[in-house]
């Protein structure tokens, strides 16, 4: 959803236009992906590598995956885009 504001008169009123975005078909919403995202964000203060390793993922594979995607090893899940998290999931699921 995106919001655009349009000023009608100076400080008197504002009109808001709401546009709903179409859902992309390639977004994986299976249970495994949902569990992966939950594990990625499980502990706010931990890095992505430590969060996923705590849920059974191999630290060395995660590290290689992050390097391939140009991410720092100390990256936290909240600093990644949804697309990057999806790419990490797909690489680790192979």
* CATH number assigned to the domain comprising residue 80: 1.10.8.100
What is the pLDDT, as a whole number, of residue 67? Answer: 96
Give the residues across from 19 on adjacent strands.
Answer: 2
CA dist list (Å): 26 to 10, 29, 30, 49, 60: 43, 9, 11, 25, 28
Residue 5 maps to a domain? no
Q: Which pLDDT score, from 0 to 100, does residue 66 have?
A: 96
Question: In which residue ranges of the chain is pLDDT below 70?
Answer: 1-16, 18-29
How many domains does the chain contain in total?
1
Domain housing 83: 24-93
So what's the pLDDT on residue 94?
A: 78
């Amino acid at each position: 959803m995106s919001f655009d504001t349009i000023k009608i008169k100076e400080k008197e009123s504002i009109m808001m236009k709401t546009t709903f975005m179409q859902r992309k078909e390639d977004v994986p919403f299976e249970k495994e992906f949902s569990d992966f995202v939950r594990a990625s964000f499980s502990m706010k203060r931990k890095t992505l590598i430590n969060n996923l390793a705590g849920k059974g993922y191999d630290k060395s594979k995660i590290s290689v995956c992050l390097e391939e995607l140009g991410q720092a090893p100390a990256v936290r899940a909240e600093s990644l885009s949804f697309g990057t998290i999806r790419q990490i999931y797909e690489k680790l699921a192979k």
